[in-house]
Structures are given as C-alpha cells and as structure tokens.
Amino acid sequence: MASRDRIGFVGVGLMGHGMAKNILAKGFELQVLGHRNREPVENLKRLGAKEVSSARELAETCDIVVLCVTGSPQVEAIVTGADGLASAARPMLICDCSTSDPSSTIRLAEQMASMGITFVDAPLSRTPADAEAGTLDVMAGGTPEAFERVRPVLDCFAQKVVHTGPVGSGHTMKLLNNFISLGYAAIYAEALTLGAKAGLSPEVFDKVIRGGRMDCLFYQTFFRWVLDRDPEAHKFALENGLKDLSYLSAFANATGVANPLGAAARNAFALAVGTGHGKDYVPMLSDIIANANGVRLTGKQDA
C-alpha cells in the first residue's frame, strides 16, 4: 500500500522543507538527507523525521525518495554518484521534483530501469509559502502505475497534480511553465523601465493593469516587490531563472524549434546574473533593468 511506503527526502531547503513537513503531517514515515542549512533539518527531526548521512542510506531503507534540488547535475550526482541512491542496488521509486533538463531525466530513467528503479519527474509550480501550506501545483511524468503509486505523496504538498505523460514530460512542461512566468518577469521589467523613462510611475502602471485582463497571481507577487519592497514576495533566485531558461534553450535546439522570445527572456536574466545579482529574487529584475537604463523605480518606499 502507498500509505505504508517509507519516504526519503533530499533537498529540504526553501521549497523542500514545507514539502517534507507536509509529508510528515500526513502520517508517512520520513527520512531526510542532511542539509548544510541545519534549521529545516532540525525542525523536521523535532516533528518526527530521521536524518541520514548519505543518499545510499536513504535508498537502503526507503521505498520512495523525493528529490528537490537545483537541477540535473545535482540530481545525477545524488542518483549515480558515490554513495548515491543507485549504489544501494535496491528497487525503489525516485520522484524528482527539481526543475531539470528533460533529456537528462529521460536518460537517467532509462539507466535506472535496468536496475529495477522507477523514475517519476514531478516538478513544482508556485512558491515556498505554498510548499508550507501544501498548495503547490505539480506536473508529473511517468508510467500510469508509477504515477498512481507516488500520487499520495504528491497530494501531501500539492493542491493540483497533473499527469503529463511519460517520463520527461513533467520536466518539459515545467520548462514551458517557467518560460511563460519568467518571460512575464522580463516583460514587466522592461515595461516598467519604458514607463519610467516616460514619467509613468509603477503606481500608475499598477492602477491600469491590476484588475484588468493582464492581471494574474504572478503579476501580483511581482508587484509586491515593485510597490511594497516585500523581499518575501517571490523567493526564486535570478540565477535559477537563468538556469531554467538555459534548459529551455537547449531543449529548443534539440527539437529544432526557433525560440526568439525565450532567447530574449534569457538575455534579461543573463544580464542580471552577469552583473552580480544572481542571488536576488525574480521581481528584483525590475530594478536591474531600470538601473541599466539610467532610471529608478521608486515605488512606495519613497512615498
């Protein structure tokens, strides 16, 4: 029974802590791999989780292992590296909730299948606050049987779970999802800069857009920074945005699709990272683009 599966978790950071906490809250036995940030690990241990020191140790005792790390290089290292999950040579299901390169995901899944290890790619949408609240969106790729087995775990931290198709389709859909959201970020930043050049403040911009057809939840979190300087508005680093748009570029090249808009969005994020702002969050792109053009978005902080 899925409810009896023992769950392992790698990556209890910004998103992973809330996910793991909700898995525990739903009654699953949980083991977590030690993390450089001790606070979330210690919190989960107080809630009943057990800490282990290697991915192999997780694989030796867990039936399903959830990964929530930066991207494909980290996933590959956790699965196939020294003392990685595969080194236990034990059947399990690996659920990769990272934003990864679909070609790496497909290749890794094929490699693991020969060892009796099932792979599901289940990347996430929404924010760390949604991870804490258990209201993430998940797009999951894998066989119908694997999807049904891991679904009770995904339901612990997600309000919406969509089976996108075979392995790799979840990560492909995630790249498309992030292309749209990060593309919006680049458009908002450039539009605000053009407006500032013409003497239109962010407040005026917001009065026109908010509540209209171009309003959306992403717009609202983005503008919590622009107007209110709320650093918690959307905690997703610009360097991770560049990573995702670079994955999109590689995917477009591999499929022979011209993606000029994706390249333009990537260039905006590359500018931000290249000028030392990689650790800043996505809404802060608005200030970076404005400053590069010699204007400042004052927002309410100067009111």
Catalytic residues: 174
Extended strands (E) in the chain: 7-10, 30-33, 50-52, 64-67, 92-96, 117-121, 124-125, 136-141, 158-165
Give CA–CA dist 120/104, Å, rounded. 13
- Amino acid 110 reads E
Which of these, 30, 63, 72, 6, lies nearest to 240 by C-alpha position?
72
CA dihedral sign, ordered 272, 274, 277, 280? positive
Give CA–CA dist 35/45, Å, rounded. 12
Q: 133 near 105, Cβ under 8 Å?
A: no
Which of these, 130, 110, 128, lies nearest to 119 by C-alpha position?
110
